[in-house]
Structure 1
């Protein structure tokens, strides 16, 4: 699994790790039940503090994307809750994205077309 960190980004590193793992689950690069690198291994691979990776894994676990086991480490969940709703945090982020699209002059149709392209991958 390759995680790339953008040091120039305003997004905290733990959040970048979280986002890339969720993206990997979404697009199939990470399969249900797949084992993730250990905290230490991922931290060494990326060249960051292991506490940062631990924070990302804790967040992923709280959000229900992964589970941890002392013997097998962190793994992608086999099944996900499908309540067909976005979390409050995700809805707020979506509001921000929509606001930026409006300010940039994007029409609703253009925005939905972009969403469709991204959703399809």
Structure 2
């Protein structure tokens, strides 16, 4: 797994880890059932506190994107019922409101959304 973290970013490192894993799942780079690095291994790779990685994994677990057990560690969760749809809709609404508040037209917002969706499409697939 190739994660890129920017220590100078205003986005907290735990959030960057969470976001990169979500993007990897969306692109098909992290298939269902794939084991993620252990908390200690990932923390060591980035020379960060293990609590930072734990926080990222905790978020992913709460969102139903990973599961953890003593035998297999933390793995990408199987596809299933999405219990966070309402929270996602709320975040999406806020992002759209921010775009509107900054003066973007509907077409600009839709074009930007389509472009971002394209960047997340698994290789060889169509929207």
When normalised by structure 1's length, the TM-score is 0.86
5+ residue gaps, structure 1:
none
The structure with higher relative contact order (CA 8 Å, sep 6+) is: 2
Following superposition of structure 1 onto structure 2, how do residues 1-40 of structure 1 map, counting pairs within 5 Å?
1-40=1-40
Cα drift, residue 92 of structure 1:
4.2
Counterpart-to-counterpart distance in 2, 1:59 and 1:100: 24
- CA displacement at 1:82 relative to structure 2: 4.4
State whether residues 43 and 50 of structure 2, in contact with CA within 8 Å, keep that contact through their aligned partners in structure 1: yes
Report if aligned partners of 1:5, 1:13 keep a CA contact under 8 Å in 2.
Answer: yes
Q: Write out the 4+ residue segments of structure 1 that deviate beyond 3 Å after TM superposition.
A: 90-93
Give the count of matched residue pairs. 119
Once residues 10 and 86 of structure 2 are traced to their aligned partners in structure 1, the CA distance between those partners, rounded to angstroms, is: 22
Alpha carbon RMSD of aligned pairs, Å? 1.9
TM-score normalised by L of structure 2: 0.82
